[in-house]
Amino acid sequence: MSQSLAGKVALITGGSRGIGAAIVRRLAEEGAAVAFTYSASSDRATSLAADIGARGGKAVAIAADSADPDAVKQAVGRTVTDLGRLDILVNNAGILIRAQVGEFELADFDRMLAVNVRAVFVGVQAALPHLSAGSRIITTGSVVADRAGFPGASVYAMTKGAVASMTRGLARDLGPRGITVNVIQPGPTDTDMNPDEDNRAMLRPLMALGRTGKDSEIASLVAYLAGPESSFITGAALTIDGGYLA
C-alpha cells in the first residue's frame, strides 16, 4: 500500500462488518490510525481491532448506536482522546428496513432517519472543531438515491437522497475551510445487508459487469477520497455500482 494516510486519524461509523469493516482495514493499510463504532457486533469489532493491531496498525473500537446523538458525539470525543486528533470522518453506519408504504411502521421510519441521516449531521457537527484544512468527510450513500430499484425501498431511498443533498450543502459550508465533503453511492454489493444468494442472482443480469460488488472495491473509493489526490473533489456523489445505473 502507498501509506498515503500515514499520520492521519480516521473515524468510521458502523465499522465492524461489511463495507464499514473493509473501509477500516483499507484506511489502516494506508497508514491511518482508525477508530470505528459498532452497535451490536462486539465480537467482530474486537477481532477487527486486534487484527489491525497485529499487523502493526492502530485501531480503537467504540460501542455507539448511531441512533443516539450523544453516542455519536462521544465517539468523536473518544477518537480525539485516544488517537490525538481527527482528520477523516467516514459516516458509514446505516440500516435498511424494507416495507411497502402502507405497512411501514412509523417507529421504523424514525429509526432509519435517525441512523441514516441525523447521525451524519450530528457526526459532522461534533467533528468540526477537530478538523483542519485538508480534512475529509465521506458518507456512504447508495444508488437508491437515484433509482429505488425494488418495492419497499421508499424510506431507504429517501434517506440516501437526503445525505446526497446534505453533502452538497456541507461542501459549500466547509469549502472555505479547506474541508472536502463527498458521498459514495454503492450499487448491489456482497455484504450482510444483501446476504440472499437468490437476490444476488437476480441482480447480476442488471449489472453491466455481470456481478455484484465487493466490499473491498467500495473501500478503495473511500481510500481515494480520503487521500491527497482527491483534494479538488467536493460536493460530489460518486457512483460505484458495476454499471447498475448504466
**What residues are annotated to the active site?**
156
Decide the pairing of beta strands 136-140 and 237-240.
unpaired
Name the percent of the chain in helix, strand, coil, to the closest 5. 50, 15, 35
Report the 10 Å Cβ neighbour count for 75: 26
d(CA 56, CA 194): 32
For the sheet containing 136-140, what is the strand order?
A: 59-63, 33-38, 9-12, 88-91, 136-140, 180-186, 237-240
Report yes or no: 57 and 9 within 8 Å, Cβ to Cβ. no
Q: Indicate the burial class of 74 (C-beta count within 10 angstroms; 0-12, 13-18, 19 or more).
A: middle
Please give the grid coordinates belonging to residue 93. 453506519
d(CA 31, CA 12): 15
